[in-house]
């Protein structure tokens, strides 16, 4: 597919598959530090995803992306809040349970074991899963994501926002194209956070067509689409995209405006 002025900024489902492959390959080569983007084939097709194209059945997934919080104070607050919540849970249990003495002192104590390392509390970590799902209605990729603590407790939207770099918050507040909501994941059928796709084709069109010097032997749209797209939506959710991935992929995009969040591990 060549870029022409009539292009509407969308992607066909088979092009999505091509773009997904390009993204995961490039990601692996350029930044092996991160967990990989892997294609998750879906054995069952949700009935509303009507597509004659069977190869697109699935989504691109990056999981266990973790963040050590850089903001010490905010971080401690969140731990304390959590501790408070736990305390509330415990108190509730006390109230409803006649066997409350079992709670702390569970029958016969375990024998004292000096071969067990007593660890000081690990730094509380937040993990993020990102899925890129193709939307047949909008004909664009859609980013679904969720955050959770190491024990699996899901993060609420305000907790996620506390993890985001300031730049992301600014984008979420002001930008016309990023609208974060909770919606059912099309394949997992559980509510995940997502960036609503109804503006995607418009800004993708701007991103590609705005470049005045698209070289003829440059990468094609279906190869570059997801990389460029991710460089934009990634910013909104604090997902750092290595600079090398963005270079040459979206002509209009000024490289120096890509903000790197410091807290992402190396």
Partner 1 sequence: MVEEERAPVILQFAPFQSAVDEGFWRRLSSLKLDTLGIDQSPITITGKFELNLFAGFYSPCSHPQVSNHLTLLPESLPPEPGEESSSSAAAAVSRGNRNRCPVPGTLYNTNTLESYYALDKQSLLKAEARKIWEDISSGKAEEESAVLSRFLLISFADLKKWSFHYWFAFPALVLDPPATLIDLKPASQCFTLEEAESLSAACNEWRNSSLTADVPFFLVTIASDSHATIWPLRDWAACQGDGQKLLFGFYDPCHLPNNPGWPLRNFLALICLRWNMEKVRFLCYREKHGFADLGLSLVGEALVSVPQGWKDPHCVPNAVGWELNRGKKVSRCISLRQSMDPTRLAISAADLNLKLMRWRALPSLNLNNLSSIKCLLLGAGTLGCQVARMLMAWGVRKITLLDSGRVAMSNPVRQSLYTFEDCLNGGNMKAMAAVNSLERILPAVEAEGIVMAIPMPGHPVSTQEENSVLEDCRHLQDLITSHDAVFLLTDTRESRWLPTLLCANSNRITITAALGFDSYVVMRHGAGPLNYSSDIKSEGEETLSAQMGNLSTGGTDERLRLGCYFCNDVVAPIDSTANRTLDQQCTVTRPGIAPIASAIAVELLVGILHHPDGMLAPGEIATSHSGSSEQPLGILPHQIRGSLSQYSQMTLVGHSSNSCTACCSTVVSEYRRRGMDFVLQAINHPTYLEDLTGLTELMKSTSSFEVDWDDETDENDNDGI
Residues near partner 1, by CB under 8 A: 32-33, 41, 43-44, 66, 68, 83, 85-86, 89-90, 93, 96-100, 102-104, 106-111, 113-119, 121-122, 125, 146, 148, 150-154, 156, 179, 181-183, 188, 190-191, 196, 198, 265
Q: Least distance from C-beta 36 to partner 1, angstroms?
A: 8
Which of residues 41 and 74 has its CB atom nearest to partner 1 in the complex? 41
Q: Name which of 87, 158, 94 is nearest 126 in CA terms.
A: 158
> Is the Cβ of residue 139 or residue 146 nearer to partner 1 in the bound state?
146
Give the integer Cα–Cα distance in Å for 262 and 78: 19
As a whole number of angstroms, the distance between CA 201 and CA 203 comes to 6
CB of 138 to partner 1, least distance (A): 13
Q: Which two tokens stand for residue 104?
A: 């702390």
- Mention every residue, 6+ apart, whose C-beta is less than 8 A from residue 8: 201, 205
Q: Which is nearer to partner 1, 64 or 247 (CB)?
A: 64
Under 8 Å CB-to-CB from 193, ≥6 apart: which residues?
144, 145, 146, 157, 160, 180, 181, 182
CB of 25 to partner 1, least distance (A): 15
In angstroms, what is the minimal distance from the CB of 169 to partner 1?
16
Considering the complex, state which of residue 68 and residue 255 has its C-beta at the smaller distance from partner 1.
68
* Burial call 10-32: b when 16+ CB within 10 Å, e when fewer: bbbbebbbbbbbbbbebbeeebe
- Closest to partner 1 by CB, 2 vs 109, is 109
Active site annotation includes 42 = no
Q: Smallest Cα–Cα separation from 224: which of 241, 247, 258?
A: 247
Measured from the CB of residue 154, what is the shortest distance to partner 1 in angstroms?
6
Query: CA-to-CA distance for 78 and 140, rounded, in angstroms?
Result: 35
User: What sign does the CA torsion over 211, 217, 221, 226 have?
Assistant: negative
Of the candidates 42, 92, 198, 250, the residue annotated as catalytic is 198
The catalytic residue positions are 198
């Amino acid at each position: 597919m060549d870029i022409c002025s009539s292009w509407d900024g969308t992607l066909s489902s088979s092009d999505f598959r091509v773009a997904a492959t390009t993204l995961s390959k490039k990601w692996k080569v350029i930044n092996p530090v991160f967990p990989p983007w892997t294609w998750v084939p879906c054995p069952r097709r949700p009935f509303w995803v009507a597509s004659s194209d069977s190869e697109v059945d699935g989504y691109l997934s990056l999981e266990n992306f973790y963040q050590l919080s850089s903001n010490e104070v905010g971080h401690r607050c969140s731990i304390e809040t959590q501790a408070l919540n736990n305390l509330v849970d415990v108190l509730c249990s006390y109230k409803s349970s006649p066997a409350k003495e079992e709670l702390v002192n569970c029958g016969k104590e375990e024998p004292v074991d000096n071969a067990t390392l007593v660890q000081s509390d690990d730094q509380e970590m937040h993990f993020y899963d990102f899925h890129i799902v193709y939307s047949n209605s909008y004909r664009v990729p859609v980013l679904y994501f969720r955050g959770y603590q190491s024990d699996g407790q899901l993060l609420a939207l305000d907790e996620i926002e506390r993890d985001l770099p300031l730049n992301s918050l600014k984008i979420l507040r002001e930008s016309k194209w990023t609208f974060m909501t909770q919606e059912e994941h099309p394949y997992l059928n559980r509510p995940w956070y997502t960036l609503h796709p109804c503006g995607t084709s418009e800004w993708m069109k701007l991103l590609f067509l705005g470049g005045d010097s698209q070289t003829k032997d440059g990468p094609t749209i279906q190869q570059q689409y997801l990389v460029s797209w991710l460089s934009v939506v990634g910013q909104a959710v604090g997902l750092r995209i290595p600079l090398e991935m963005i270079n040459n992929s979206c002509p209009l995009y000024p490289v120096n405006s890509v903000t790197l969040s410091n807290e992402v591990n190396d």
